With several copies, the nearest count.
Chain A
Amino acid sequence: MRYLPHTQEDIREMLAVAGSPSLDGLFDTIPDSVKTKHGLNLPEPLTEWELNDHMEKLASENIACKGYTCLIGAGSYDHYIPAIIPYLVSRSEFATAYTPYQPEVSQGTLQGIYEFQTMVTDLLGMDIATASHYDCGTALAECALIALRKNRKANKIAVSDLVHPSHRQVIETYLKPTGYEMVLIPHTARGLTDTAALEAMADIAGVAVQSPNFFGHIEDLAAFRKIADSKKILFITSFTEALAWGVLKNPGSFGADLVAGEGQSLGIAKTFGGPGLGLLAGTSKLMRDLPGRLVGRTKDTNGQDGYVLTLSTREQHIRREKASSNICSNNGLNAMTAAMYLSTVGKIGIREIAQLNHDKAVYLRSALTAAGFTPVFDSPFFNEFVMKVPEGFKKKRADLIHRHCLFAGLDLTPFYPELTDHYLFCATEKISRQQMDQLAKEVA
Chain B
Amino acid sequence: MTRQPGTKGLIFNEPNVWDKSREGRCAISLPRADVDRAPLDPSLTGEAPNLPQLSELDVVRHYTRLSQWNFGVDSGMYPLGSCTMKYNPKTNEVQAARQGFAGAHPLAGDEFSQGALRLMYDLEKYLAEITGFAGVTLQPAAGAHGELAGMLIIHAYHAKQGKQRSKIIIPDTAHGTNPASATLCGYQSINLKSGPKGILEPEAVAAVMDEDTAGIMITNPNTLGLFEEHIREICDIVHAKGGLVYGDGANMNAIMGVVKPGKVGIDVLHLNLHKTFSTPHGGGGPGAGPVAVTEELIPFLPVPRVEKELDSFRFVSDCPESIGRLHTFYGHFGVMVKAYAYILSMGAQGLLDVSRLAVLNANYIKESLKGTLNLPYDRPCMHECVFNDAHQKKHHITTMDMAKRLLDYGFHPPTVYFPLVVEGAFMVEPTETESKEDIDQFIDAVKAIAKEAQTDPEKLTSAPVLPKVTRLDEVAAARKPCLRG
- Per the CB under 8 Å rule, do A and B touch in the complex? yes
Contact between A433 and B35 (Cβ–Cβ < 8 Å)? yes
Bits for A83-102, please: 1 = Cβ < 8 Å to B, else 0. 11011111111111111111
CB distance from B216 to the nearest CB of A (A): 15
The answer to the question of B1 belonging to the interface, with a C-beta cut-off of 8 Å to chain A, is no
Contact between A332 and B285 (Cβ–Cβ < 8 Å)? yes
Contact between B70 and A107 (Cβ–Cβ < 8 Å)? yes
Could you say which of B83-91, B291-299, B391-399, B450-458 contacts chain A? B83-91
Q: A98-B281, A249-B45 are in contact. List 13 more A-B contacts (CB 8 A).
A: A14-B361, A29-B229, A45-B346, A58-B115, A62-B112, A82-B27, A83-B93, A134-B145, A174-B184, A177-B152, A177-B184, A273-B328, A293-B284
Contact between A39 and B352 (Cβ–Cβ < 8 Å)? yes
Bits for B167-185, please: 1 = Cβ < 8 Å to A, else 0. 0001000011101111111
The answer to the question of A370 belonging to the interface, with a C-beta cut-off of 8 Å to chain B, is no
Task: Find A3's partner among B56, B64, B287 (CB 8 Å cutoff).
Answer: B56
Given contact pairs A36-B257, A346-B21, A410 touches B107 in the complex (Cβ within 8 A): yes
Task: Find A93's partner among B33, B34, B67, B352 (CB 8 Å cutoff).
Answer: B67
* Complex CA–CA separation, A100 to B413 (angstroms): 12
Contact between A96 and B59 (Cβ–Cβ < 8 Å)? no
17 contacting pairs across A/B (C-beta < 8 A): A3-B346, A4-B55, A9-B23, A34-B264, A67-B99, A68-B103, A99-B285, A106-B71, A122-B49, A129-B483, A173-B326, A247-B40, A269-B103, A270-B102, A294-B483, A301-B471, A325-B184
Contact between B351 and A42 (Cβ–Cβ < 8 Å)? yes
Report B-chain residues with C-beta under 8 Å of the C-beta of A117.
483-484
Identify which of residues 158-202 in chain B touch chain A, using a CB-to-CB cut-off of 8 Å.
Answer: 170, 175-177, 179-186, 188-189
The answer to the question of B26 belonging to the interface, with a C-beta cut-off of 8 Å to chain A, is yes
Bits for A332-344, please: 1 = Cβ < 8 Å to B, else 0. 1111100110111
Task: Find B40's partner among A76, A134, A273, A358 (CB 8 Å cutoff).
Answer: A358
CB distance from A321 to the nearest CB of B (A): 4
* Complex CA–CA separation, A401 to B113 (angstroms): 13
Query: How many contacts between A and B, using CB within 8 angstroms?
Result: 752
Identify which of residues 175-203 in chain A touch chain B, using a CB-to-CB cut-off of 8 Å.
Answer: 176-179
Bits for B336-362, please: 1 = Cβ < 8 Å to A, else 0. 010001011111111111101101110
Contact between A108 and B67 (Cβ–Cβ < 8 Å)? yes
CB distance from A155 to the nearest CB of B (A): 12
The answer to the question of A356 belonging to the interface, with a C-beta cut-off of 8 Å to chain B, is yes
Bits for B96-118, please: 1 = Cβ < 8 Å to A, else 0. 11111111111110001111101
Identify which of residues 154-172 in chain A touch chain B, using a CB-to-CB cut-off of 8 Å.
Answer: 164, 166-167, 169-170, 172
Most buried by B among A3, A14, A24, A80: A3
Report B-chain residues with C-beta under 8 Å of the C-beta of A125.
46
Given contact pairs A51-B91, A135-B328, A272-B113, A323 touches B467 in the complex (Cβ within 8 A): no
Contact between B56 and A2 (Cβ–Cβ < 8 Å)? yes
* Complex CA–CA separation, A340 to B51 (angstroms): 11
Task: Find B57's partner among A3, A107, A109, A316 (CB 8 Å cutoff).
Answer: A3
Report A-chain residues with C-beta under 8 Å of the C-beta of B98.
55-56, 59, 65
* Complex CA–CA separation, A436 to B35 (angstroms): 10
Given contact pairs A56-B98, A300-B470, A349 touches B232 in the complex (Cβ within 8 A): no
Report B-chain residues with C-beta under 8 Å of the C-beta of A226.
none
Contact between A173 and B119 (Cβ–Cβ < 8 Å)? no
The answer to the question of B473 belonging to the interface, with a C-beta cut-off of 8 Å to chain A, is yes
The answer to the question of B134 belonging to the interface, with a C-beta cut-off of 8 Å to chain A, is no
Report A-chain residues with C-beta under 8 Å of the C-beta of B28.
2, 48, 82, 344-346, 349, 353
Residue of B nearest to A139 (CB): B328
* Complex CA–CA separation, A246 to B67 (angstroms): 28
Task: Find B474's partner among A65, A298, A353, A436 (CB 8 Å cutoff).
Answer: A298
Counting chain B residues whose Cβ lies within 8 A of the other chain, the interface size class is 35 or more
Contact between B32 and A47 (Cβ–Cβ < 8 Å)? yes
* Complex CA–CA separation, A41 to B127 (angstroms): 11
Residue of B nearest to A123 (CB): B49
The answer to the question of A136 belonging to the interface, with a C-beta cut-off of 8 Å to chain B, is yes
* Complex CA–CA separation, A198 to B190 (angstroms): 41
Report B-chain residues with C-beta under 8 Å of the C-beta of A329.
142-144, 274, 281, 284-287
Residue of A nearest to B87 (CB): A3
Could you say which of A229-237, A304-312, A387-395 contacts chain B? A304-312
Identify which of residues 208-223 in chain A touch chain B, using a CB-to-CB cut-off of 8 Å.
Answer: 218
Contact between A295 and B345 (Cβ–Cβ < 8 Å)? no
Contact between A346 and B341 (Cβ–Cβ < 8 Å)? no
Contact between A248 and B46 (Cβ–Cβ < 8 Å)? yes
Task: Find A298's partner among B46, B366, B476 (CB 8 Å cutoff).
Answer: B476
Contact between B126 and A42 (Cβ–Cβ < 8 Å)? yes
The answer to the question of B10 belonging to the interface, with a C-beta cut-off of 8 Å to chain A, is yes
Task: Find B481's partner among A105, A179, A287, A323 (CB 8 Å cutoff).
Answer: A287
Most buried by B among A100, A134, A302: A134
Task: Find A343's partner among B59, B88, B170, B334 (CB 8 Å cutoff).
Answer: B59
Identify which of residues 397-437 in chain A touch chain B, using a CB-to-CB cut-off of 8 Å.
Answer: 401, 407, 410, 429-430, 432-434, 436
Report B-chain residues with C-beta under 8 Å of the C-beta of A58.
100-101, 115-116, 118-119
The answer to the question of A35 belonging to the interface, with a C-beta cut-off of 8 Å to chain B, is yes
* Complex CA–CA separation, A248 to B366 (angstroms): 46
Given contact pairs A306-B469, A350-B49, A88 touches B67 in the complex (Cβ within 8 A): yes
* Complex CA–CA separation, A69 to B313 (angstroms): 23
* Complex CA–CA separation, A132 to B119 (angstroms): 27
Task: Find A166's partner among B83, B281, B328, B359 (CB 8 Å cutoff).
Answer: B328
Contact between A275 and B27 (Cβ–Cβ < 8 Å)? no
Contact between B281 and A104 (Cβ–Cβ < 8 Å)? no
Report B-chain residues with C-beta under 8 Å of the C-beta of A310.
474, 477-478, 481, 483
